[in-house]
Amino acid sequence: MGWCVGLFVVRRHELTDESWAVIEPLLAPPRMGRPVRDRRQVINGILWKLSTGAAWRDLPERYGPWKTVYERFRRWSADGTWDRLLAPGSRPAALRRRGCCRLDRGVCGLHDRAGSPACLRGPKRRLWPGEAIGRSRGGLTTKIHLACDGQGKPLAFTITGGNVNDCTQFEQVMARISVSRCGPGRPMTRPEQVVADKGYSSTKIRSYLRRRGIKAAIPERIDQINGRIRRGESRCRLDRAAYRRRNVVERCFNKLKHNKALATRYDKLARHYQALVTIAVLQLWLP
């Protein structure tokens, strides 16, 4: 179930001493007033919730009162603490280099308590438009649009409703990519190459990449190929060697969805679900 580090028993979903040493300096200092609960204990409770997908009320006693852990999670989700922990400066220097970027999306179903019609009768239906909930072929779902590097480390993501087209989020995901340099200088925001599937094949996306000097390894859809043939135009070149390595982003999604609170969405509010995705991404970067 766990291993001993110093005087603490660290379970597989909890922070190790090395991970806590990275996170602790980035947390805001405690406010004046009553002594606050151990923040490492609180974060471990949040990680337990992320890993198991259980209700906050079922939090084990070793993490303290469940309401305290939930209130801290809610407060940090609102003030941007999780985004600050995932800032480029907190990522390992060995992975800070310009290279190939893979994009894809993952679909997560909603639990009944997150967004089923039975739970959203009456005025609560007004939560739908801004809470990244959409009706798709699989029912009510949420999409995670993700970009990762060549080693499967997440770089940026957005969440939308399940009915949102993949290509509409391409520029938003690319705009969030920021990789710190090993030395001084501004973070790098442009990879050398972008690899994606046919869902991202559009004239707008290819023009966007061309303007920024980024190579595209995106196959064309059959209707686009037939259109080029009718117009007498040549087909876009496809770097097949790079495209064959696109499954790196699929493996990244696989690691993220080991967390049950991500594979199935239990949260009604989009900012809470986005915070859980941010924490899961942060876990993949921590030592």
95-267 folds as: Nucleotidyltransferase; domain 5 (3.30.420)
Average pLDDT, stretch 3-16? 66
Average pLDDT, stretch 53-70? 93
Distance CA 150, CA 100 (A): 6
- Residues linked to residue 158 through DSSP beta bridges, in sequence order: 145
- 170 conformational bin, left if phi > 0, alpha if psi -120 to 50, beta if neither: alpha
Average pLDDT, stretch 171-184? 82
Average pLDDT, stretch 48-61? 93
Name the residue ranges covered by the structural domains of the chain.
2-79, 95-267
pTM: 0.85
Q: What is the pLDDT of residues 110-156, one digit of tens each?
A: 766 565 444 444 444 444 567 888 887 778 889 999 999 888 889 89
- Residues linked to residue 108 through DSSP beta bridges, in sequence order: 142
Burial of residue 195 (number of CB atoms within 10 Å: 0-12, 13-18, 19+): buried
